[in-house]
Structure 1
Amino acid sequence: MNSETTYLTDVAAVLWPCGGLLGPDDGSVRRLVRRDRGSQYLPVPNAQSPRVILPAHNRWAAARGIASFAQGHSFAERLRTLLLTGAFATGLAPLILRDRLYVGAGPGIEHALTAALDRDLAIAIHVGPPRANRKPVLLLLSPAGRTIGYAKVAINELTARLVRAETRALRLLADARLKDVTVPRLLYEGEWNGQPLLVQEALPVGDQTDRPTRRQLLRCVIQIVNLARVRERFLSASPYRRALEERIVTLGARPEAAPLRAALRRLPDVRIPFGAWHGDLTRWNIASTSRRAFVWDWERLAMDAPVGFDALHYDLNECVQAGVHPGVHRWLDSGSRLLRDPLISGTGLRAHTVSTVMALYLIDLATRYLHDRQSESGGHLASVDDWLLPALDGLQERAVHEASHADDPPLGAV
């Protein structure tokens, strides 16, 4: 049993406390489950590398799950999605896929969600790639196959904190006035099997939406920034800086803590505009039309951060898709150009603060990864001493040089 199958059985223990058994399509086990009136789920593509968990005997829910959870950002991904959707829709998938998750009879997550929403439903489950903050995301479908919403269930202390944080964020966003940004409504909050549970509505994301253009992204970023009152402060006097240093201190004796603390203290004391940021704005959490952006996964929402963090985060994750080190090298240039865009300059960000903001973002990201123990999950950006600390060294030099030109006009004025 590898770490992924262990994770799968841990997820099953939370979702189905009545018991789950992972194994091949074995006739004796299948007969036992049928006699106990249990259920079967299919880990896709297999139990050693599960990305989705789909009902074996509800082909429509399974097909919708494949389509809804697919990223579809490359030709290979779109082709794989098409083949899997066809296999489930025709009923061939249970004959092709060997591994099974057998769930015993008794109250499970389906029963809890049916009672919470007061309607019959079927579920498909997204597991996703290994990350410290990975948690099951459940697609909720009506018997007719219509999407009702999505549910998130925590499975450990970190994910419990994130589910509770997203619940608070969705409550706050329900009263926010975002001109061109749509966020999901909170449909239900509660607990399941001792872990926090939330249900949110499904956004109208599909064939009519795509990744945002540069202008759409920045327009969305600015509207999120303005969820909080934008305030310009010297870095040394900002609550954000104090909070970031406290987070670094709580890393304790970790070897990365000292260079992060030193990097923060060496940054020039420039005036920076602060506002809100989504905290994890990537291609997986946003879709756009020409008029609107649809944004989800608000578990990292914070109301006091340097303006531009969301743009930098989105851009970094785009740059590293083809490789971390060349991607980070590109980001050092492209991120700087994003912060110099007139849309960002309208918030008060000035040219001599750009590299300082980029350095702050890397320090913040490194601190998050270290607190979440992302390196232990094998994420491609998680090893901060491999790429982040070297990039931070170069940004510090740029920041000091830029700050020496503090008489520059506001960005976009030239």
Structure 2
Amino acid sequence: MNGETTYLTDLAAVLWPCGGLLGHGPGPARGRGRGNQYLPVPSACDPRVILPAHNRSAATRGIASFSQGHSLRERLRKLLLTGAFASGMAPLLLRDRLYVGAGPGIEHALAAALDRELAIAIHVGPPRANRKPVLLLLTPGGRTIGYAKVAVNDLTGRLVVAEARALRLLADHRLRDVTVPRLMYQGEWNGRPLLVQEALPVGDQTDRPTRRQLLRCVAQITSLVEVRRRRLSASTYRGALEERIAALGARPEAGPLMAALHGLPDVSLPFGAWHGDLTRWNIAGTARRSFVWDWERLSLDAPAGFDALHYDLNESVQAGVHPGVHRWLESGARLLRDPLMAELGLAAHTVSTVMALYLIDLATRYLHDRQDEIGVHLAAVDDWLLPALEGLQERAAHEAARAGG
């Protein structure tokens, strides 16, 4: 067994306390009794989705819902998989099986919580510290009911609880052009935090945001709370960031991060809310409206513009971290100089300071979550982030000096 097959069997123990057994080919698993069969796709050694073997409509809908579809290769893969499941050929073509023993499982708990019959398809995604199963909840006929998230460790437990709290807050703060999911249920499963949220109308009629749509969305999220100007040295944000860096203890990156924070010019900045993980994977929209999900990192105190920088950094590095970061140092600055950001009070001479603060914040998050230990490329803080931060410090000092502080 490799790390991924071990993860799959551990995940099965969380979702189905009766456990799961990996096997090959169609047919019942010996000694497992009556239970369900799931197909790890593309394989048990590289699971990205887990689909019900004998429910074509649920499996087909799961493929469509979890496919990002941003590249030609991804769109072709989605087309082939949906065709295989719709025709009933997928169980014959896919070799690996996850056999789940008879007994109460996550499906039964969710059906009881929502008081309706349902089927599930599961997204697990690539390895990362905050990896957790996202369950697509469907009627037996394949109509989407919502999404469930289940914690698998302490970090994901904190994130699931934080997202439930964020969704409650967002329910009381209507955003003019942004739709967020409604919290449908919060509880526990197998001793771990669980939440269910409604599905947003994202599909063929929606797409990634344009620059204007992105910045409009960022501005509205920032304004979830009253946007206030503060000197960096007097802001509660800087104090909280200092505490987070200090909590890294003896990590060798902690010293350079703290020094970089203290070395930034003491400029006046607008502070407001930020989504915390705004990327192409959790925002879509039409010309008039944005749909935003995955609110587990919501913060109500951060420099305006962080969400725009985060989205742009993740876009820039799709073809490689180092060339992407080089592009981001310019494209991120252009985003922050946009008139929509100026309307929030973000001055041109503070752009590099905000970019540096964002990198310090991101590095601190990655280090606390230990993302570097599982090979997440962006989490290699000393490889790209600290060198980029050094250049931004120089730019920030130059900008502030030209503006007279």
- Give TM-score scaled by structure 1 length: 0.97
1:69-103 residue CA offsets vs partner (Å, 9 max, x unmatched): 00000001000000000001111111111111110
Letter in 1 for 2:17: P
Residue equivalent to 1:22: 22
User: In the TM superposition, what is the alpha-carbon distance from 1:204 to its structure 2 partner?
Assistant: 0.2
Q: 2:177 corresponds to which letter in structure 1?
A: D
Give a deviation string over 1:136-185, Cα, whole Å, max 9, x none.
Answer: 00000001211000000000000000000000000000011200000000
The superposition leaves residues 292-330 of structure 1 with CA deviations (integer Å, 9 ceiling, x where unpaired) of: 000000000000000000000000000000000000000
- Give the match for residue 387 of structure 2: 390
**Offset of 1:50 from its aligned partner?**
0.3
Letter in 2 for 1:176: H
Q: SS at the partner of 1:281?
A: coil
Q: Does 1:3 align with 2:7?
A: no
Q: State the AA in 2 paired with 1:184.
A: P
3-state SS in 1 of match to 2:251: coil
- Quick one: which amino acid aligns to residue 123 of structure 2? H
Instruction: Determine helix, strand or coil for the equivalent of 1:381.
Output: helix
Structure 1: runs of 5+ lacking an equivalent: 409-414
Deviations 1:41-86 (A, max 9, x none): 0000001000000001111101110010000000010000000000
The answer for the alignment partner of 1:247 in structure 2 is 244
How far the C-alpha of 1:26 sits from its partner, in A, is 6.9
Match of 1:168 in 2: 165
Residue deviations 1:175-213, cap 9 Å, x none?
Answer: 112000000000000000000000000000001100000
Residue type of the alignment partner of 1:153: V
Tell me what 1:357 maps to. 354
Q: Does 1:39 align with 2:66?
A: no
- After superposition, what is the alpha-carbon deviation per residue over 1:271-312, rounded to whole angstroms, capped at 9, x for unaligned? 000000000000000001000000000000000000000000
Distance between the aligned counterparts of 1:194 and 1:406, measured in 2? 55
Does the 8 A contact of 2:26 with 2:92 survive in 1?
no
> Is 1:81 the counterpart of 2:45 in the alignment?
no
For residue 37 of structure 1, report the CA deviation from its aligned partner. 1.6
The AA in structure 1 aligned to 2:289 is: R
Offset, 1:32 = 3.6
Q: Does 1:366 align with 2:363?
A: yes
CA positional deviation for 1:7: 1.1
List aligned pairs for 1:212-223, cutoff 5 A: 212-223=209-220
Per-residue deviation, residues 213-270 of structure 1 (Å, max 9, x unmatched): 0000000000000001101000000000000010000000011111001100100100
Q: Does 1:142 align with 2:139?
A: yes
Counterpart AA for 1:406: A
Report if aligned partners of 2:183, 2:198 keep a CA contact under 8 Å in 1: yes
Output the CA distance in 1 between the equivalents of 2:215 and 2:158: 29
Unaligned runs of 5+ residues in structure 2 are: none
- Superposition CA RMSD, Å: 1.0
Question: Offset of 1:380 from its aligned partner?
Answer: 2.0
The separation in 2 between residues aligned to 1:387 and 1:228, in whole angstroms, is 33
Task: List structure 1 runs of 4+ shifted beyond 6 angstroms.
Answer: none
Q: Provide the secondary structure at the position in 2 that maps to 1:208.
A: coil
Selected match of 1:267 from 264, 267, 275? 264
Distance in 1, matches of 2:68 and 2:291, equals 15
**Is the 2:50–2:121 contact (alpha carbons within 8 Å) kept by the matching residues of 1?**
yes
**What do the CA deviations read for 1:104-141 (whole angstroms, capped 9, x no partner)?**
00010000000000000000000001111010000000
Shift of 1:31: 4.8
Please, which of 190, 194, 205 is the counterpart of residue 193 of structure 1?
Answer: 190
The equivalences for 1:195-210 within 5 A come to 195-210=192-207
Instruction: Write out aligned runs for 1:115-154 (5 A).
Output: 115-154=112-151
User: Secondary structure of 2:181's partner?
Assistant: coil
TM-score (norm 2): 0.99
Equivalent residue pairs, number: 405
- Report the Cα distance in structure 1 between the residues aligned to 2:198 and 2:26, rounded to whole angstroms: 37
Q: Which one of 262, 285, 288 corresponds to residue 285 of structure 2? A: 288
Q: Distance in 1 between matches of 2:148 and 2:124?
A: 12
The answer to whether the aligner puts 1:303 opposite 2:293 as a matched pair is: no
1:227 partner amino acid: L
